[in-house]
Structure 1
């Protein structure tokens, strides 16, 4: 069975894009959240193998979301999703504990590469 992934993005369209790529490639999308606060609650409930997390979201942004999830599970595998020009925020996210990042607009190969690399890393 495919690895379980939680998709977090405030834009429904982006969640759908990522979800479709993941499903087509044998991953199981166990949940979708539209902000960091929801992501933390869903992570605790669903215990996914990996989280894709947007940086800029209402209520709780991706960086705070990463910190909160890593507080629950120091081994959490999280990949940040950012728009072009958010390099400083990406660095903050990596320092907060994200394991990789992908830049929007998404390219399927890059998403799959990042997921495979993060999931194959020893925790």
Structure 2
């Protein structure tokens, strides 16, 4: 297995597509959610290897999720998936130190390669 994942996005189609693709690539999808509060609750309960999270979501956005997950575990692997081009939001994202930021749209192959490289880093 390549690792456990929770997926957070308010777009159900994206959740379904990512879930199916990651399952094919031997990742364990532990849960999905549609806002930042669900991300925090799922992370607290499940402690996955990775959190894949959108930023722009209703109610509790991904900034909320990223901030609170990092408070729980500063080493949490949170990959932000965003189509946001607002520089002030980008600054806030970077201040919270996500593991990586991928701009939407992104090739899912790139995401899988990234997750595998984080899980099994090349020894230096």
TM-score bracket for this pair, using the shorter chain length = 0.7 to 0.9
Taking the aligned partners of 2:120 and 2:59, their CA distance within structure 1 comes to: 32
Q: Aligned equivalents of 2:63 and 2:120: distance in 1?
A: 23
- In structure 2, relative to structure 1, the CA distance for the partners of 1:16 and 1:90 (3 Å cut) is farther
Higher alpha-carbon Rg: 2
| 1:54–1:29 CA distance, 2 compared to 1 (3 A) | same
For structure 1, the residue ranges without an aligned partner over 5 or more in a row are none
Does the Cα contact within 8 Å between 1:90 and 1:101 map onto a contact in 2? Answer: no
In the TM superposition, residue 63 of structure 1 has moved relative to its aligned partner by 1.3
Contact 2:53–2:80 at 8 Å: present in 1 too?
Answer: yes
Q: TM-score, normalised by structure 2?
A: 0.87
- List structure 1 runs of 4+ shifted beyond 4 angstroms: none
Give the drift of 1:84. 5.7
Partners of 2:87 and 2:18 lie apart in 1 by: 21
Which residue pairs with 1:32 in the alignment?
32
In the alignment, structure 2 segments of 5+ residues that lack a partner are: none
Change (3 A) 1:32 1:89: same
Instruction: Determine the C-alpha separation between the residues in 1 that align with 2:25 and 2:66.
Output: 25
Count of equivalent residues: 121
